[in-house]
Amino acid sequence: MRVRYYKAKYDMESWQESYKKHQAAANEIAEKSIAQEVLQTGLHNWEENGNLLTNGELTHIRLWLHEDELSEIEKQFISESQKAILNQAYYPIMHPKENRLLSGLIGINVLALLLVGAIVLYFIISKSYQSSPHQQSNTSSQQVASLNKQIANLEQQRTSLQSNNQLLNQNINQLTAQKYDYYSKWVLSTAELYIKQDQFQTATALLLKAFEQSPQPVLANRLYDIITQHGQQPLQVLSKHQTWIQHATFSPDNQYIVTVSVEGFGYLWEIATGEIKRTFMLPDWSPLSYAKFNKNGELLLIVGGNTALVWDMTQQKQISLLSGHNEAILSASFSNDSQYIVTASQDNTARLWEAHTGELLQTYKGHQDIVYTADFLSNNQLVATGSKDGTAKLWQVKTGQLVQSLDNYQEAVKYICFQSNKLFVASFDGQIQYWDTQTAKQSDNFSLENIRLTSFDCQTDKIAASFENKTILVWKPNNTQPLAQLTSQQPINHVALKNNILMAASDTEISVWDWKTQKELYAFTTPKKANQITVSPNGKSLLVIVEELAYIYPLFHSQSEILQAAELMVDSSTFSTEALKQFEIK
């Protein structure tokens, strides 16, 4: 029993010793935190108002903070405070007799305080010996709980300060954005006044100066409008058709544009002058629906009704007429060597023709509904077709034999294109899939579940597609994840892709994005909703079809290109640069 008692006593004494060490450490942390807070608050007041530390504050800081923990500015602050305290010290000069009296009183008081302290200490010690180990444990536990509560309070204060700092930063960012927004509106309204007075150079200079200080997209948009409507690169408007243009295309050399209309006329326009160089009609005056150049631009295909003509651009004459479909032709493609043409029709078939003679070589039968699209594989060994029946099919070019039927689609297959040995297949239900044409196996699936496709564009090494949820995706073969995902404010009707630039048409607005950075570069409006957008082969122009009109816009690949074009318009001799200083952001 005695052994157990001494063991318990030893354990209790050990615990009390450990507790005292932890308590001392906790006290030191708390005191250091308080000293640091006092120092930082005093330093802030010194910098703001010139106030120094009091003697008590200085003593607390010197007691708990080591000199090597202090920065140079903190050391200087403490030194200045100490000098001020020494300069303000007051030493009373008293009569020697009064000094002896005061010394006696102080001595009596000190003795009395010592006596009271000894009695209190004796009482505390005797009580501690009389108390049980259980009572001592309870007391120590209460002290630990009290310290934990103090530490928790300090942590809560620190969290609160951090939260307040984050909120302050958010407010600063919001106010800064609001400032630039108001600034942009101010500059735009002033620029409009100059434009109404035909002072386009002054308006351009003002917008350039504002853009340097605040590169807001809205300023770039207005600069683009001035450049295209009043500047060095005006837009072209091709106006001749009396009814809606059904399709338009650039020539590979960027010199011409062909437009075709339901009125039965097709026009060959020279881009540089906007002049019509040739008019096309089919023998039966059928409404025209489609036009396409071959790869080198020597041949031009014009489609109308169930017939198509082939025009030789070098000899400037018709060389063949493709006639044999029972219903309207919806699309057509040249083979890579331009020897053959494949057409897709509403009669549920696709057909192969000899381009230079118009001879029908093969009919691809097997679809149960309209064939929307047909194209050649790069080696001219296979033809792919897409149909309203929800299938895409691969055919041997010359024999017409069905190689593979791809039946994974719930709705019409509207778009197909080849990239090397890969076949892109896109359907209205939003599915976009890669197929390996050598194995006829599906490689990747890029569908967005239950979201319908609205437009599609295919380049040599990537594709772009828009969906009903206002999302635009850019993909590359063999990538399981999109290269970019953009979100529009409006539903997208058409997309066009060129290098790092993506064009998206939504109602009457055309947005130009850098899909690599996923940022909108600029935007402009069209008079009415766009029926089609097409990028020139050299990437310098954008063709926008709006009902019976064709608009050619300059295409800038960065905001810096817009600024360079705008700078060409500015002649500083025509306006006062001093007048622009008022628009500097303060």
Q: Tell me the pLDDT tens digit for each residue of 123-160.
A: 444 544 444 444 545 566 777 777 777 778 777 777 77
| pLDDT value of residue 26 | 60
Please indicate, yes or no, whether residues 392 and 346 belong to a single structural domain of this protein.
yes
The set of residues, in sequence order, having a beta carbon less than 8 Å from that of 460 and lying 6+ positions away, is 419
Task: For residues 106 and 53, state if they share a domain.
Answer: no
Please tell me whether residues 126 and 182 are part of one structural domain. Answer: no
pTM of the model: 0.66
**How confident is the model at residue 16, as a pLDDT?**
54
Can you give the pLDDT at residue 229? 79
Is residue 306 included in any domain, yes or no? no
Helix (H, G, I), strand (E, B) or coil at 241: coil
Query: Does residue 408 lie in a domain region?
Result: yes
Q: What does the DSSP 8-state code read for residue 233?
A: S
How many domains, in total, are found in the chain? 4
Q: Is 7 in the same domain as 114?
A: no
User: Which segments of the chain have a pLDDT < 70?
Assistant: 1-27, 30, 86-140, 231-234, 420, 439-449, 460, 477-478, 480, 571-586
Q: Where are the beta strands (DSSP E) in 153-270?
A: 236-239, 245-250, 256-261, 266-270
For residue 9, tell me if it sits in a domain.
yes
Question: How far apart (Å, rounded) are the C-alpha atoms in residues 305 and 321?
Answer: 13
- Is the separation of the CB atoms in 42 and 57 below 8 Å? yes
Whether residue 272 is contained in a domain is answered as: no
Indicate whether 75 and 104 sit together in one domain. no
Q: What is the pLDDT of residue 76?
A: 79
118 and 189 assigned to the same domain: no
The pairing of strands 360-364 and 350-354 is: antiparallel
CA 293 remoteness from chain centre: 36
What pLDDT score does 584 carry? 60
Do residue 79 and residue 98 come from a single domain?
no
Residues 100 and 176 in one domain: no
Q: How far is CA 340 from CA 142, 157, 301, 328, 361, in A?
A: 95, 79, 12, 19, 9
- The answer to whether residue 529 is domain-embedded is no
Domain residue limits at 431: 324-447
CA–CA dist 412, 430 (Å, integer): 10
Q: Are residues 335 and 403 in the same domain?
A: yes
Same domain membership, residue 43 and residue 30: yes
Would residue 144 count as lying in a domain? no
**Distance between CA atoms of 402 and 413, rounded to whole angstroms?**
17
Are residues 75 and 8 part of one domain?
yes
Domain boundary among 82, 106, 131: 131
Where does a domain end: 131, 156, 182? 131
- Of 40, 72, 90, which marks where a domain is finished? 90
Residue 125 in domain = yes
Assess if residue 38 is contained within a domain. Answer: yes
Residues 100 and 84 in one domain: no
Q: Tokens 């150049």 label which residue?
A: 293
